Amino acid sequence: MYACIDLGSNSFHLLIGEWNNGRIEIVERCSDKVQLGEDVRLSGKITAAAFDRGVESLRHFKSLMDTYPLERYWALGTNTFRVTENAQQFIDSTADLGIDISIISGVQEAVLVYAGVISSLPEDDSRRLVIDIGGGSTEVIVGEQHRRLLTESLSIGSVAWRDRFFLPEYEASTELERQLELASSAAKEAFSAAAPGIRKANWTEAYASSGTVKMIAAICEEHGFGDARVSISALRDLQPLVIAATLGQGDLPGLKEKRRDLLLPGWAIMSGLMEAYGVQTINFSATALREGMLDFMVRNKKTLQVMEESDLPAVSYANS
Structure confidence at residue 22 (pLDDT):
66
CA gap 274, 279 in Å, rounded: 5
CA gap 84, 319 in Å, rounded: 30
CA gap 310, 88 in Å, rounded: 22
Q: Do residues 15 and 9 touch, judged by C-beta distance below 8 A?
A: no
The answer to whether domain 2-104+311-317 and domain 121-284 are alike in fold is: yes
CA gap 73, 60 in Å, rounded: 15
- Residue extents of the structural domains in the chain: 2-104+311-317, 121-284
Structure confidence at residue 308 (pLDDT):
46
CA gap 62, 16 in Å, rounded: 12
Report, at the CATH architecture level, how domain 121-284 is classified.
2-Layer Sandwich (3.30)
248 phi, psi to nearest 5 deg: 75, 25
Q: Strands 2-7, 72-77: parallel, antiparallel or unpaired by DSSP?
A: parallel
Structure confidence at residue 283 (pLDDT):
98
What is the chain's pLDDT, residue by residue, as a tens digit (320 residues)? 899 999 999 999 999 998 777 677 899 999 999 999 999 988 999 999 999 999 999 999 999 999 999 988 999 999 999 999 999 999 999 999 999 999 999 999 999 999 999 989 998 999 999 999 999 999 999 999 989 999 999 999 999 999 999 987 787 889 999 999 999 999 999 999 999 999 999 999 999 999 999 999 999 999 999 999 999 999 999 999 999 999 988 889 999 988 999 999 999 999 999 999 999 999 999 999 999 998 888 766 443 344 444 567 877 878 65
Structure confidence at residue 263 (pLDDT):
96
Count CB-CB contacts under 10 A for residue 168: 5
Q: Which residues are CB-contacts of 59 (< 8 A; sequence separation ≥ 6)? A: 97
Q: Do residues 140 and 150 touch, judged by C-beta distance below 8 A?
A: yes
Give rounded-to-5 percent helix, strand, coil for the chain: 45, 20, 30
Structure confidence at residue 304 (pLDDT):
38
| Sequence-ordered strand ranges (E) for 124-213 | 127-133, 138-144, 147-154, 205-209
Q: What is the CATH number of domain 2-104+311-317?
A: 3.30.420.40
Q: Do residues 191 and 174 touch, judged by C-beta distance below 8 A?
A: no
Q: Which of 172, 131, 108, 171 is nearest to 272 (CA)?
A: 131
CA gap 35, 46 in Å, rounded: 10
Structure confidence at residue 300 (pLDDT):
61
Structure confidence at residue 312 (pLDDT):
79
Structure confidence at residue 296 (pLDDT):
83
> In the β-sheet with 127-133, what is the strand arrangement from edge to edge?
147-154, 138-144, 127-133, 205-209, 281-284, 229-231
Stretch (H or E) spanning 317 = strand 316-317
Structure confidence at residue 309 (pLDDT):
45
Q: Strands 229-231, 281-284: parallel, antiparallel or unpaired by DSSP?
A: antiparallel
Structure confidence at residue 303 (pLDDT):
35
Structure confidence at residue 310 (pLDDT):
54
Structure confidence at residue 30 (pLDDT):
96
